[in-house]
Amino acid sequence: MAQLIINHDQCIQCGLCVAQCPFSAMSMDSGKVETNAACKMCRICVRNCPVGAIKIEEEKTIEIDKTQWNDLLVYVEHDNETIHPVSYELIGKALELAKPVKMKVAALMAGRNIKDLAEELLYSGVDRVYLYDDEALEVFRVDTFANVFEDCIREMKPSVCLVGATTTGRSLAPRVAVRFQTGLTADCTSLEMRENTDLVQIRPAFGGNIMAKIINTKCRPQFATVRYKVMDAPEMLKEKQGVILERPVSEEMKKSGIEILKVEKKAKVSSIEEAEILVVAGSAIKDEKGMEMIQEFASLLNASVAVTRPMVEKGLGHVNQQIGLSGRTVKPKLIITCGVSGAIQFTAGMKDSGLIVAINTDPNAPIFELAHYAVVDDIYALIPQLIQKMKGEQK
């Protein structure tokens, strides 16, 4: 990365650089030229300084020996009782990525009295499980868990670290990545491995209009957080494979600047991510009465109701029901979209559903390109008929 250097002893305080900067990134403060974050390194000030007092220095890039960093590490999220399904999805993807480069997959678990959970991971195909079991890890504190994560990386030296893009993962992963001065790609929807062990991290960008491929060629480990429900969990083995490596938790690792005053367990609520059948309300739903119709239709199908972003903005749906880039990623067995146009921001969150049925009055709606069954009809005419038919069959 380049850095703008101003030699204040050489500067004659002519103000030419301040006047000519097209980004207003330079100012004269107490007789000294200063720069701010608006600087784009355009070099106009360098070229026009009459005494050559401004220079740009390129920072030396430290080349890393990639052969010293091997295998893939998956951070396993849990609540001390059950393992979050996203962790198994990451293990499944890690096993797939590891094959072409002949690497192995390890898992990291931290908590209290979790050895039984660690044993469960041995049926997933991982080569080893790094287990940090201590009273200080009973409740998640991001700084303490970052210490544990850092210790595991220094012990293992993995080429790739995968973390679920959950509330916990999004808090933990960047804190650990910065300790190793390495990059982190957030909310990946796809991953690929090159022969030289560079991880191609793919995620939506510019509002979902493009899929960006991000590669960290000069740093290790390579960090990525991955959304829930975009990868496939591995088939569980009939017999255990791999070993559990119990790691000590030092007093230094236990240190935390966070004081926990009280812990309350949240009541478990149904999530659209877990639903096997979803009925999605789109912009064609005009009001609360329309939502009641969708809700009744969904209840007859034993389905959950989801919505698009415009529905949340209109106050006709909750953000926890929203599918898409700014919402949840789902992969139900059946999804029925009602009056959904099919913008890429929405379809990115449900394109891997088992069976997609789309209802829309517009025969050219983008959602029909993705749907397995396309129904060109008015939802206000069709759905009441379906409701009546299903009610009649249930009598």
Q: What is the pLDDT of residue 210?
A: 80
Query: Is there a common fold for 2-58 and 66-254?
Result: no
- Answer for the pair 128, 155: CB distance below 8 angstroms, yes or no: no
pTM higher than 0.85 for the full model?
no
Q: What is the pLDDT of residue 1?
A: 64
d(CA 134, CA 148): 11
Q: Where do the structural domains in the chain lie, given as residue ranges?
A: 2-58, 66-254, 277-394
Biggest CA–CA distance in the chain, Å, is 92
SS3 sequence of 355-391: EEEEEECCCCCCHHHHCCEEEECCHHHHHHHHHHHHH
DSSP state of 31: T
CATH number of 66-254: 3.40.50.620
Regions of the chain where pLDDT drops below 50: none
Q: What is the pLDDT of residue 23?
A: 93
* CATH class belonging to 277-394: alpha beta
Q: What is the pLDDT of residue 208?
A: 67
Architecture of domain 2-58: 2-Layer Sandwich (3.30)
Q: What is the pLDDT of residue 61?
A: 63
Q: What is the pLDDT of residue 196?
A: 94
